[in-house]
Structure 1
Amino acid sequence: MLAITPIYAALIAILYVALSVKVILQRRSDKISVGDGGSKLMIKAIRTHSNCAEYAPIALLLIAMVELQGAGGLLVHILGLMLLAGRLLHAFGFGRTPQIVILRQAGMSLTFLAILVAAIANLILAL
């Protein structure tokens, strides 16, 4: 049974909705119904949202499998916190104008680290 991963899934879902709202608000501001209309701010909002949509699902799936395979709660929390912090840092750093590059880089590094550690943990636990 999953007891820890759903906490991080819920928090990242809240972040995802917040990023979705930013896209909607930017669309309204720029009067863009479909696509990016060539607006740099619209492109940035779309890509910030899309980046979360691209990385969060695989990471959460891997973390859930680690938990389901019986890994300790500490490992699951560390993976979840790395992912959550990574997604928050990336969204904040990338979403700003001008970008805060160090936050964007730190966010991606934490996200990649969470994915890689979860992948390796799954392999170890499965073998």
Structure 2
Amino acid sequence: MSVAITALYTGILALIVVAMGINVTIYRFRYGVMIGDGGQNVLRRMVRIHGNTVENIPLCALLMALYEIDGGEKMVLHASGIALIVGRILFAGPLWVHDGPSPIRASGVTLTWGTTAILAVLNILQLRS
């Protein structure tokens, strides 16, 4: 059983996580802060962008893989992968600039959580087949 579609999107998402991690490291060196945020608002935002992405991607990627292994619809998998990538970008973009409320950031969170919830339900429904 192939998980080629999940592998594609998980690979892209992994590169996003790596880029965000490198970004945190750059800001850590810039401010001379190796642990925590040192009271630097910008560093705190960069750490949360990275952390939030790391917190959300693995579960969704696992749900994608399980759905694909169980013969899930290819278009659903592609839509899920794209939604997750777009959701993570929409979440990170506004937070990169400021830490205030943002409808764009909220839409990114909604895409991420919505994708995770839909894949969870689809996995449960496949048990009945």
User: Normalising TM by the smaller chain, what interval?
Assistant: over 0.9
Which runs of 5 or more structure 2 residues have no equivalent in the other structure? none
Contact 2:45–2:96 (8 Å) recurs in 1: yes
- SS of residue matched to 2:35: coil
Alignment of 1:12-51 (within 5 A): 12-51=13-52
| 2: CA distance, partners of 1:99 / 1:59 | 26
Q: Where does residue 77 of structure 1 map in the other structure?
A: 78
After superposition, the C-alpha distances for 1:30-86 in whole angstroms (9 at most, x for unaligned) are 111211111111110100000001000001001111111101110111111111111
The CA deviation at 1:97 is 2.8
Q: 1:27 to 1:39 in 2, by over 3 A?
A: same
Calculate the TM-score normalised by the size of structure 1: 0.95
Q: Where does residue 68 of structure 2 map in the other structure?
A: 67
The alignment of Structure 1 onto Structure 2 pairs a total of residues equal to 127
- SS of residue matched to 1:4: helix
**What is the RMSD computed on CA atoms of the aligned residues?**
1.2
Q: Where does residue 7 of structure 1 map in the other structure?
A: 8
Which runs of 5 or more structure 1 residues have no equivalent in the other structure? none
Structure 1 outlier segments of 4+, above 2 Å:
97-100
Percent of aligned pairs with the same amino acid = 28
| 2: CA distance, partners of 1:16 / 1:94 | 15
| 2: CA distance, partners of 1:103 / 1:93 | 7
Aligned partner of 1:16: which letter?
V
